[in-house]
Amino acid sequence: MAAKWDTGSLIGTSSAYWRGCTLQAGVRLGVFTVLGARSLSTAEVAAAIGADHRSTGYLLDALAGMELLLKSGDRYSNSEAAATLLDEHKPGYIGHIILHHHHLVDGWAQLDVAVRSGGPVEQRSYGAEAERRSFLLGMFNLASGVAPLMVEAISLAGRKRLLDLGGGPGTYAIHFCRANPYLQAVVFDRPTTEPFMKRTVASFGLSDRITFAGGDFNHDSLAGGPYDVAWLSHVLHSNGPEQCMELVRRTAEVLEPGGLILIHDFILDDTRDKPEFATLFSLNMLINTAQGRTYCRAEITAMLEAAGFSAPHCIDPKTPNQSLVIAAIKGDT
């Protein structure tokens, strides 16, 4: 972000969605996957993605202008970054989270409506299954990059049983279990998540140590306790303050005395105007949920203390998206 706003920086920010939509179109159309390791002409790419020749040329030139593609004459190839991160056949593919962002664009275009009404807006639907798939796989994309940083920053030595609340595909449970050979984990999430979670866990050879419990954590009993560590990653921001407080209290009930709670989220400073991403994410929750928002450190600390936790402290794993962890210990009473 520019240190001082001026005409250029304001216009650049206002039009920044052009670049995002261009990237999203490239992923949605499969441009980077079609190119793979090849060099193709405009006509060849257009034929492969089933698109108009002229407009495909405009898109390819824009992607080349963004240095995601390399252009030589009338032929295009993937840049190193695109080949690694945007080709669906590569293990580092992050296209699912980019598709999830694409699904959010219509809502963000109505931010003024959400601010006036104080609640979520009606948005274009891309189909429940497509949206659920991009969300789950997108969360896997993001967590796969962040989880190794968490494992390095947080010691679970001596812990035996982990509750991964709202854990989706189980990415964090997988990484915590790989780093702690004696740790067992239960991923608690909506039943529709179970098939994807089980496939993901099996691919890491951890099906004997990570199991699934289905339910709505805002309403259903948190099965499988007692636990000695609970991991709540990006759970609070989907809920209002009362729901968050109740969830923290119910998590405490299934933890043993001395159990560790770890709340991972986009956490605001107590001034509520930093870090930037957390402030923007609150708007994302305004657009998409009835009461969700980001919370500041003091609010989360107060929830933990009210639920009987002690010694709350913040851990900064230095993640790319500025997420933080607040940890606390359940008291003996």
Could you give the residue numbers annotated as active site?
A: 237
Q: In what order do the strands lie in the sheet with 40-41?
A: 40-41, 75-78, 69-72
The C-alpha atoms of residue 42 and residue 45 are separated, in whole angstroms, by 5
Q: Which of 130, 238, 142 is nearest to 189 (CA)?
A: 238
Q: Are 259 and 230 in contact (CB under 8 A)?
A: yes
Token pair 């002409």 is found at 41
Number of residues written out for the chain: 333
Cα angle 64, 99, 168 (rounded to 5 degrees) comes to: 140
Token pair 């790419």 is found at 45
The C-alpha atoms of residue 79 and residue 243 are separated, in whole angstroms, by 45
Contacts of 227 (CB under 8 A, 6+ apart): 161, 162, 163, 186, 254, 255, 256, 259
The C-alpha atoms of residue 223 and residue 213 are separated, in whole angstroms, by 7
Q: Which stretches of the chain are assigned E, i.e. beta strand? A: 40-41, 69-72, 75-78, 161-165, 184-189, 210-214, 227-233, 255-265, 309-315, 324-330
Distances (CA, A) of 39 to 32, 36, 69, 330: 11, 8, 10, 58
Q: Are 168 and 139 in contact (CB under 8 A)?
A: yes
Cα angle 153, 186, 235 (rounded to 5 degrees) comes to: 65
What φ, ψ does residue 37 adopt, rounded to 5°?
A: -100, 10
